[in-house]
Amino acid sequence: MFSRDSKSNSRIDTLVGKSAKVQGDVEFAGGLHLDGRIAGNVRSDDATATLSVSETGSIEGSVDVPNVMLNGTVTGDIFARVRVVLGANARVQGNVHYGIIEMTLGAEIKGKLMPLPNGVGATTDSEPGAAKGA
């Protein structure tokens, strides 16, 4: 969608159309493509799940999905354990927690960029002062 590596977003199981507005939390597996609006949190426990948000899509709530491809608006924190791709029209008002991040010129973040340890979610060996290899 936004980059030359399109393997993670080729499957769309659920589509929220441009004129649709969902109120409440959304939990999904597989791929979710959003052209409309979601007023609630979006999450997936599926390790291969991908959320793609188009230029017309918006989320008012937190996002907790392994792979996020954003070209719309999120008002809330993003937790992308594997990868987050921010397109030129991406707008985030909140912190972005990521394993790997890719940003296109024009993307805006009003919050903190917070890398996750080892690029795969919060793991235990992230204590400050922990000895490496000891």
Task: Please report which confidence band the pLDDT of residue 47 belongs to, taking 50, 70 and 90 as the band edges.
Answer: very high
Average pLDDT over residues 20-30: 96
Residue 120: its pLDDT value, please? 55
* pTM: predicted TM-score of the whole model, two decimal places: 0.81
DSSP H helix total and E strand total for the chain: 0, 16
Average pLDDT over residues 84-103: 98
| Sign (positive or negative) of CA dihedral 86, 88, 89, 95 | positive
| Sign (positive or negative) of CA dihedral 24, 56, 111, 1 | positive
Tokens in use for 8?
């993670």
Task: Please report which confidence band the pLDDT of residue 96 belongs to, taking 50, 70 and 90 as the band edges.
Answer: very high
Residues above pLDDT 70, as percent of the chain: 81
Question: Over the stretch 60-71, which tens digit does the pLDDT of each residue have?
Answer: 999 999 999 999
Residue 56: its pLDDT value, please? 98
| DSSP designation for 107 | -
Residue 76: its pLDDT value, please? 98
